[in-house]
Amino acid sequence: MYPTPRSHRPLIMGRNGAVGANHPLATQAGLDTLRAGGNAVDAAVAISLTLGVVEPMMSGLGGDGFYQVHIAGQPKGLVYNGTGPAPIAATPEAFPQGMSVHGPRSVSVPGSLAGIAAMHAAHGRLPWAKLAEPAIEHARYGFAATHAYRMFSTDNRPQLAADPRSRMVFLAEAETRPLAGLVVQPDLANTLEAIAADGAETFYRGRLAQRLAAGLAEAGSLVAEADLAACEAEVQAPIAIQYRGYEVRQTPPNSTGFVMLEMLRIVEQFDLAGMDPAQRVHVLVEAKKRAFLDRERYGADPRFETVPIEHLLSDAVAHAHAAAISMDHAADLPLKIPEKAEGDTTYFCVIDAEGNAVSGIQSINSSFGSGVTAGDTGVLMNNRMAYWHLDPAHPNRLQPGKRVRHTMNAPMVFQDGKLWGVLGTPGADNQVQVNLQVLTAMLDLGADPQTAIERPRWTSSQPGQGANWPHAGDGVLTIENDIGDEVLAGLEARGHVLNRVAHMGGPCSMQAIRLMPNGVRMAASDTRRDGWAGAY
């Protein structure tokens, strides 16, 4: 249990609304929207568009997203799936040397804008144009480069430098843009103004779509005007399980949110609260390994492949996996079809005064995505094609029009039919693992959100696990040193191969909001990156 808080940041609390996002300017946009009379969906749109400007290495108009929505008083939630498919020209034969990881041929059809537009059309309250204002302002006049921005732009300089427009906007003449140096995106500001005036339709089937397609063709991308025109968001029902009296909802396939639910079902068979820390980490890691075997067997676009969700989340599967876990030895469970990705994504969450909520996650895949800016639109494009497999027997094999398997997932938690909390993190294959750790810290051990978020983290990598081509994995348990020598020794004694690190940045940018019975919203944000929580 956690009788004493252990956090570097205060727990943010308010009675009327709360926001957690991976950049303070996006959090401010969400709070301002709520204060202006907007609901959680309006705030989510403002946050989403703003993040695409001020955190360009993580998400944007050129990427994808999942947005889970809870409307107060309605028992069933909705998921707005804003993930685009592979372009029509993207056949396996088009990649004889394997999938492109960066550059124009790594670009897939972007679906994020379609997702937030559909969500806003169904539930929004404020005008669409109003919600785009913060993003337009930050694009037009610039945002200040943070430590995280400087690190990511330096690390990804080669792919940005390969594209003249990306190089001009995102890189400084010197080796690293100075701290607080302004990143100004005038072309993106013009594009956002067009979207504010004409809606998302212009991005997919209007004049902006024509310019976007022309820019992509000039760069050598496979995404054509017809691919944009065919892109539509899908409205889905969330999938859910019961865990120790709580209902945990997740984004359905082509999201791999089911993997987090499967891990919870497995670890529910163990008394996590009664274990010492090394035992607890061991059980969580072993559950992860087994659930990832099922991810590899079944994770895919359900419009093309059968994904047996009821079976994967059944008692029989949970009990069988739990029974196979040895408390004394770490299992070696490589994935059979080879698949390492440092996926870069951004997560945000909102709960408004009425109890409406959005759990949102969006990404351009790797840091700065493909590195390609689409012509004069200022839109930095994703490199989501890198997620495909080419093995014809793999459920996530490349097919034109098919949506790739996504690591993105956006959970929500309910108790007795009422919203209990929302949380999530970026981090590619590590997302569901970090969500598992924070959720069990809160649900099993009674930690408040900020304490749970700041606890030391681990991420497990199995051979053949990684999301990006060529889908590698090293069989190592990467773990933060401040978990303590006793825990580290206990894990090594069980056979875990450890990679001891300082704080992890990529898979550790968690945001969480807990809704208390008295109406207080507890908002928490990770200290490991640029995230910030706010409430009022």
The range of the structural domain enclosing residue 145 comes to: 12-231+344-387
What is the residue-wise DSSP string for 441-459? HHHTT---HHHHHHS--EE
Token look-up 């063709």 returns: 217
Report how far residue 309's alpha carbon sits from residue 204's, in angstroms, rounded to the nearest whole number. 32
What mean pLDDT value characterizes the chain? 95
Residue 344's pLDDT is: 65
Band of pLDDT at residue 4, cut at 50, 70 and 90: low
Q: Compute the Cα dihedral for 28, 34, 38, 39 and give only its sign.
A: positive
Clarify whether residues 355 and 316 are in a common domain.
no
Q: What is the pLDDT of residues 257-295, one digit of tens each?
A: 999 999 999 999 999 999 999 999 999 999 999 999 999
Q: Which helix (H) or strand (E) covers residue 212, if one does?
A: helix 207-219
Q: What is the pLDDT of residues 28-48, one digit of tens each?
A: 999 999 999 999 999 999 999
Q: What is the pLDDT of residues 361-389, one digit of tens each?
A: 999 999 999 999 999 999 999 999 999 99
Greatest distance between any 2 Cα atoms in the chain: 62
Residue 506's pLDDT is: 60
Distances 464 to 30, 308, 336 between C-alpha atoms, Å: 39, 22, 7
Write the DSSP symbol of residue 384: G
Report how far residue 112's alpha carbon sits from residue 119's, in angstroms, rounded to the nearest whole number. 11
Clarify whether residues 219 and 142 are in a common domain.
yes
Distances 374 to 51, 53, 238, 273 between C-alpha atoms, Å: 19, 15, 33, 51
Q: Respond yes or no: is residue 256 known to be catalytic.
A: no
Token look-up 């759990």 returns: 359
Clarify whether residues 168 and 306 are in a common domain.
no
Q: List beta partners, residue 415.
A: 246, 418
Residue 3's pLDDT is: 47
Scored b (16 or more CB within 10 A) or e, 76-96 reads ebbbbbbbbbbbeebebeebe
Clarify whether residues 364 and 337 are in a common domain.
no
Average pLDDT on 239-263 reads: 98
CB-side exposure of 496: number of CA atoms within 13 Å? 29
Band of pLDDT at residue 343, cut at 50, 70 and 90: low
CB 127 within 8 A of CB 33: no
Clarify whether residues 352 and 331 are in a common domain.
no
Q: What is the pLDDT of residues 490-530, one digit of tens each?
A: 999 999 999 999 888 666 789 999 999 999 999 999 988 89
The CATH number of whichever domain residue 310 belongs to comes to 1.10.246.130
Clarify whether residues 223 and 90 are in a common domain.
yes
Clarify whether residues 60 and 171 are in a common domain.
yes
Which is the catalytic residue, given 50, 345, 425, 451?
A: 345
CB 47 within 8 A of CB 19: yes
Clarify whether residues 442 and 308 are in a common domain.
yes
Residue 37 backbone zone (phi > 0: left; psi -120 to 50: alpha; other: beta): left
Domain-located, residue 417: no
Clarify whether residues 133 and 275 are in a common domain.
no
- 323 pLDDT above the threshold of 90: yes
- 406 pLDDT above the threshold of 80: yes
- 173 pLDDT above the threshold of 90: no
